[in-house]
Amino acid sequence: MPGHVLVAVFIALLVLTALTVAATWVDLGPGNLFVAIGIATVKAALVALFFMHLRYDHPFYGLVFTLAILFLALFLGLTLVDVRQTFPEVQAALENPV
C-alpha cells in the first residue's frame, strides 16, 4: 500500500477526531448522539478499510466484517429496546433529571 494513502488516512482520522471534539461544544440535544456515532462510524470504516487492509483484500472478508458489525448493531439495538421496556424508570429519569 502506498505511503501517501496511509498519511492521507491518518490526516483524515486527525480531522475527524478534531471534529468529534468540536461537536461536543455544539448542543444539538439528542442529535449529539447521532453526530458522534456518525463520526465514529466513518473513523472505524477508515481504520477497517486501510489499516486492516480490507480495501485491498478479497471482497468476502469485507462482507464477513460488514455482516459482523450489522449483527452487533442489531443485537445491541434489541438489547437497548428490551432494557427500555423492562426499566421504564430509566426513561423517566432521563426526562426529569434531578
* Number of structural domains in the chain: 2
Same-domain pairing of 37 and 76: no
Same-domain pairing of 53 and 64: no
Same-domain pairing of 13 and 31: yes
Same-domain pairing of 44 and 69: no
Q: How many CB atoms lie within 10 A of CB 50?
A: 19
pLDDT in tens, the chain (98 residues): 789 999 999 999 999 999 999 999 999 887 888 899 899 999 999 999 999 999 999 999 999 999 999 999 899 888 878 777 777 676 666 677 76
Reported residue count of the chain is 98
Same-domain pairing of 42 and 85: no
Same-domain pairing of 21 and 45: yes
Task: Estimate to the nearest angstrom the gap between the alpha carbon of 83 and the chain centroid.
Answer: 21
Same-domain pairing of 49 and 74: no
Contact 68, 52 (CB under 8 A): no
Task: Estimate to the nearest angstrom the gap between the alpha carbon of 70 and the chain centroid.
Answer: 12
Cell of 33: 448522539
Range of the domain at 39: 1-57
- Measured CA to CA, the distance from residue 89 to residue 93 in angstroms comes to 6
Contact 8, 51 (CB under 8 A): no
